[in-house]
Amino acid sequence: MAIRSFFVPFLLLVLWFYSSLSPVLSLYEDQVGLMDWHQQYIGKVKQAVFSTQKTGRRRVIVSTEENVIASLDLRHGEIFWRHLLGSNDVIDGIDIGLGKYVITLSSGGSILRSWNLPDGQMVWESFLQGPKHSKSLLLLPKHEIDCINVVQTNLKIEKDNVIVVFSNDRLHAVSCIDGEVLWKKDFETESFETQQVIQPPGSDLIYVVGFAASSQFEMYQINARNGELLKHESAIFSSGFLRELSLVSSETVVALDSTGSILLTISFQNGEISFQQTPISNIVEDSSGPAVIIPSSVPGIFAIKINSVTIFIRVIGKGKLEVVEKLNQETAVSNALPISESQQAFALVQHAGSEIHLVAKLAHDWDANLLKESIKMDQQRGIPHKVFINNYIRTDRSHGFRLLIVMEDHSLLLLQQGAIVWSREDGLASIIDVTASELPVERDGVSVAKVEHNLFEWLKGHMLKLKGTLMLASPEDVAAIQSMRLKSSEKSKMARDHNGFRKLLIVLTRAGKLFALHTGDGHIVWSHLLHKSEACQSPVGLNLYQWQVPHHHALDENPSVLVISRCGPSSDAPGVLSFVDTYTGKELNSLSLDHAVVQVIPLPHTDSTEQRLHLLIDSDKHAHLYPKTSEALGIFKREFSNIYWYSVEDHNSIIKGHALKCKCTGEVADEFCFDARDLWSVVFPSESEKITATVTRKLNEMVHTQAKVMADQDVMYKYISRNLLFVATVAPKGSGEIGSVTPEESWLVAYLIDIVTGRILYRVTHHGAQGPVHAVFSENWVVYHFFNLRAHRYEMSVIEIYDQSRADNKDVWKLVLGKHNLTSRISLFSRPEVITKSQSYFFTHSVKAIAVTSTAKGITSKQLLIGTIGDQVLALDKRFLDPRRSVNPTQAEKEEGIIPLTDSLPIIPQSYVTHALRVEGLRGIITVPAKLESTTLVFAHGVDLFFTQLAPSRTYDSLTEDFSYALLLITIVALVAAIFVTWRLSERKELQDKWR
Amino acid sequence: MEKGKGVMGSGRRWAVDFSDNSTALSSRDIRDPPGFTRASVDQDDSTVSRQKKDAESNWKAQKAWEVAQAPFKNLLMMGFMMWMAGNTVHLFSIGITFSALWQPISALQGVGKVFEPYKDGKVELLGPKLLFIALNLGGLALGVWKLNTLGLLPTHASDWVSSLPPAQEVEYSGGGIPL
């Protein structure tokens, strides 16, 4: 009795305590930004137009290679507004019309849009069609240049301003006000390729120049008012042209002949075409090799590039050419900027070691420099690629210049008065690969000094927090506490934390630059541009691998990553390996390989310094082992016969399996090189099936158990194999866009293939289904997403694979005594008996990417992370995709957690991981396990970056952020007081009893 | 279960024995009052005390049986509580089940102590002890049964398999679409 009398109130207390911890799936408003961060980027700038009117905010409009048009603040580089056009809506040109509209031409010149400059609202959109695809050119007559003080009044062509667009082999004149096409003009000449559309200032004429049939120069003169063809001239130059023109004046262009050794000055004054030939060797003494014209628009001057030397040449009337300057460094030339009625300025940016030199000149006066500055530049930014110039009027009425520079790493910088005003790391908009790395272990003494440094602040902070927990804080205090939580230095500390939340995300961008992002707040810890070497001038980054992950005995070594890059765009170009220290960002070593890298297989073995063995497959199907040490070779030889790989040839629908044979024979005599043999091949009938998606399990995925326990205590054994491949094929007809085929003509076949033996374990056909297929493979299940043409809806299917050969391990006593074979190593050459269960559900969204959460030990239940078409990440519990769901689950099944079957998957608004944010242009979702089993770190990247922590089964192993410590404290105090009081009471009662 | 002990032990605070059975000479220095015959008193007293002792041992035996039967009530009480707690695993049902397990165990540990007050050469305690043990074992069985119905006993294959790690594979593979 005594036990219970104590137990019951205790139980009640605990129960009350539990009920006060109400379960939360989603975030509270004040938790936004605590564990997540979001960064907005735009990508590599292709074109920039400044808008620096006297009134209104100064801004620059940019278009980028990620198909973003954005308006940036010139003072700080922040984004005012931004629009991401689709991936097949590539921007061809942008400009500003009437000083208040941003005009964009996109989609190969077929869509012309106008956006409101201050807020980015779309004003109008028009579709421009034409007979055939061609170069797209956008031309806005610049009559109202208001950055200069001259207002030109004589140039009102129409009542409203006209945009001249050449696209799809047709010339259009479009009204700037409403996007209405005023007139259009076709060109009859066969194979006419337009190169330039020119409108001489102050005239009503439009010149359209280009080439036809490689050796014919064509010129059309058109009336700008009504599109009437005034004149058509053509001239033949026997040795042909290179397809590039440089405009030197409104009636002169410069071209190169097909060998790249003769400069041709073509003038078409008054409609008469005349050629002037100048061999390059005549004006440049030591020229060797073919020349290339650098596109520029500086009047009177053009630039050519021979090898790596940039040569500026001036045209002095009647086709006379004169070299004005030769520059040996990498140089970028800006657009021409009219600074007064007759003067145009332009800028040159040269790269020289750790500095860049800026020069601004007047077009007609080469020797006078308007601006000459040198600015220290981070070497990791590489060389300048593009420069855009803009001017402002200083207080003394002289011209000042600001330059917008795009660097090799795709970053964007604004330079003014010899300093970098702001910079944007826009390379992060195009991430290719991501991997995670640990931070250094914390050293003693560092954090203590920091605390002592601002002890007062620390005390104040804790006082505020105490106030907050005791609900005594005023609204100002609450705001202060919130900002303190958001800026907590604990978050962005450069040391490992106990829970493993703080890590480094190592990302490789398309520009070939590595960044290390801190998971706490997303700041860039270091960045490293892949080095150019003698052997490789332009390495293209491909992939990232964990090279060395030290733990235990090798803790004093820094972890490193392996960057695989390729020397040039073709697939058989030699590869380059770079090893980068993840703590410091220093390149430890770089190897230029003599073979290509087609596939990389990280092996499950490490050497004594914890370097992971990697097998690199080249284009001749030789396997090369790295690191090239005898120790690695020793380890590798032991596992030699157990290593297999597969290759997918998606163009001819074949999947092949390979194994290692022997040491390389023939000319490549190398101890670390091995020949391969083909083991098996799966050939899909090319007339009915085409591979669209292949997925395997993630290499580092942890699985906790092989058993799945049913409601009735029965056990099913999961078929957990790393050597399973999911392949989805679609009918070749149905590989196009959704809706291009009828349901009868389209199908989707899903396969599960054993990589080692090539055995097809499962095959299922979805009739009337169409791609694109997105799939994710984890543990013993695959989830894939496709379009159902009959139901006109998207569908998600799940396949779960179970091992039937172990199903008879049911004797408890055998299991107790350990007499079973469930943990013995298995070979895939023993015939597996598998059964599969599958189910399909409708899903509302189309999908950009699918990932699955991963935790340290694989105990926590899984969630699917779905990148939706709205660029958000949706977390969907795996329990919704359970093939054992039925319409009426039994009581036992309900207890097990099986959800009654519904035809479509629910989308719960609270389960959007990205809450109110959007990850524009979402491309990939990466999950990294934290050290805390319940938590997984999620990184979504596209044009934007987003990072957060997720706990799919809630944080069962730690107290949540909103845990009420005050309540706990009060409870403890109350309990102690109660114990004391009851003790006194009982003593008194005993005494009274004794006196009775 | 503590009742018998209370009555017999601490319930009687003090006593004066009026019957002087001493026959020693030293206590006889005071003569008996007139009309008092010691022999009859002696004889009478011995019969009374024997009767009394018989009654006491009877009473003790009766009490011992009572104590031995006490866990039965407990058993019923426990059964009712278990029925109330239901078959789902939560704090309350676990608490009740563990107290149902703990009580018989602690009672069994203290079997000797429980029957201490009734220890008497004449009182047969084996029967009550056996009953007491049997009833407590019954309580224990009830607790174990409840534990099993809650699914907390590892009686299924699934309980032993869940902790086994997945089997290692001999072969290792990689690859994919060419980079």
Strands A205-212 and A216-223: antiparallel
Q: Is the peptide bond preceding residue A772 cis, with omega within 30 degrees of 0?
A: yes
The Cα–Cα gap between A316 and A320 comes to 5
Between CA B32 and CA B17 the distance in angstroms is 18
Q: Distance between CA A407 and CA A665 in Å, rounded? A: 45
Residue length, chain A?
996
- Sorting pLDDT into bands at 50, 70 and 90, what band is A802? very high
ipTM for the assembly: 0.73
Q: Residue range A179-189: average pLDDT?
A: 81
- A899 near A887, Cβ under 8 Å? no
Number of domains making up chain B: 1
Q: Residue A46 in contact with residue A64, Cβ under 8 Å?
A: yes
Share of chain A above pLDDT 90, in %: 33
Q: Over 70: is that where the pLDDT of B71 sits?
A: yes
User: Is residue B121 one of the residues assigned to a domain?
Assistant: yes
Q: Is B53 a member of any domain? A: no
Q: Rounded to the nearest 10 degrees, how much is the dihedral formed by the CA atoms of A481, A483, A487, A489?
A: -20
Tell if the CB–CB gap between A812 and B156 is shorter than 8 Å: yes
Average pLDDT, chain A: 84
More confident residue, A601 or A15: A601
Cα–Cα dist A319/A340, whole Å: 26
How far is CA A689 from each of CA A684, A738, A749, A759, A889, rounded to the nearest angstrom? 6, 17, 8, 18, 38
Mean pLDDT of A690-712: 87
The predicted pLDDT at position A14 comes to 44
Beta-carbon contacts below 8 Å between A and B:
153
**Closest chain B residue to A721, measured at CA:** B169
Quick check: A200 pLDDT over 90? Answer: no
Rounded mean pLDDT, A893-898: 84
Q: Is the pLDDT of residue A155 over 80?
A: no
Q: Mind telling me how many Å the CA of A499 is from chain B's nearest CA?
A: 24
**Assigned domain for B139 exists:** yes
Q: Which residue of B lies nearest to A818 if distances are taken between CA atoms?
A: B160
In terms of Cβ atoms closer than 10 Å to its own Cβ (0-12, 13-18, 19+), residue A24 is: middle
**Which residues of chain A from 493 to 552 reach within 8 Å of chain B, CB to CB?**
542-543
State the nearest Cα–Cα gap between A607 and chain B, in angstroms.
17
Provide the angle, in degrees to the nearest 10, between the axes of the packed helices B38-85 and B91-109: 160
Higher pLDDT, A989 or B127: A989
Contact B139, B100 (CB under 8 A): yes
- Find chain A residues with C-beta within 8 A of B157's C-beta: 713, 715, 809-812, 815
Identify the bridge partners of residue A529 per DSSP, sorted by sequence position: A513
Coil, helix or strand for A547?
A: strand
Segment A409-415 mean pLDDT: 92
Q: Which of residues 704-723 of A touch B (CB under 8 A)?
A: 704-707, 709-710, 713-715, 717-718, 720-723
User: With contact defined as beta carbons under 8 Å apart, do A771 and A728 qualify?
Assistant: yes
The tens digit of pLDDT for each residue in A915-957 reads 889 999 999 999 999 999 999 999 999 999 999 999 988 888 8
Tens-digit pLDDT profile for residues A963-981: 778 889 999 999 999 999 9
Q: Are A115 and A63 in contact (CB under 8 A)?
A: no
Is it true that the peptide bond before A832 is cis, omega within 30 degrees of 0? no
- For A385, other C-beta atoms within 10 Å of its C-beta total 18
pLDDT for B6 equals 43
Does B117 reside within a domain? yes
Return the top range by mean pLDDT from A85-89, A303-307, A560-564, B82-86. Answer: A560-564
The verdict on residue B83 lying in a domain is yes
Over 50: is that where the pLDDT of A693 sits? Answer: yes
> Of all helices (H) and strands (E), which one includes residue A81?
strand A79-84
- Read off the tokens for B42: 């002696």
CB contact under 8 A, B157 and A810: yes
More confident: A213 or A893: A893
Q: Give the β-pairing of A690-696 and A137-139.
A: unpaired
Interface of A with B in 613-632 (CB under 8 A): 615, 617
* Alpha carbon separation from A964 to A20, A549, A756 (Å, rounded): 9, 38, 54
* Probe site for chain A from B82, B88, B171, B177 (most A CB atoms < 10 A): B171
Asked if the structure places residue B129 within a domain, the reply is yes
**Lowest-confidence range among A75-89, A235-249, A536-550, A797-811?**
A235-249
Could you list the residue range(s) of the whole structural domain that residue B135 is in?
65-153
List pLDDT tens digits, range A279-290: 888 777 776 777
Q: Are A332 and A377 in contact (CB under 8 A)?
A: no
Least Cα distance to A752 among A725, A723, A715, A779 occurs for: A725
Q: What is the largest CA-CA distance in chain B?
A: 131
Identify the three-state secondary structure at position A652: coil
Question: Which of B103, B160, B162 best tests the A interface by mutation, with the highest count of A CBs <10 A?
Answer: B160
Give the CB-side neighbour count of residue A467, counting CA atoms within 13 A: 17
pTM over the 0.90 mark: no
Q: Residue A707 forms beta bridges with which residues?
A: A717
In a domain, B40, yes or no: no
Nearest one of A751, A697, A705, A709 to A728, comparing CA atoms: A751
Degrees to nearest 5, angle at CA A155 with A153 and A156: 95
Buried/exposed A656-687: b ≥16 CB within 10 Å, e otherwise: bbbbbeeebeeeeeeebbbbbeebbebebeee
Residue B78 lies in a domain: yes
* pLDDT tops 50 at residue A806: yes
For residue B169, the chain A residues in CB contact (below 8 A) are 721-723, 825-828
What average pLDDT does range A635-659 have in this prediction? 90
Average pLDDT over residues A294-323: 81
The whole-angstrom separation of Cα A853 and Cα A600 is 24
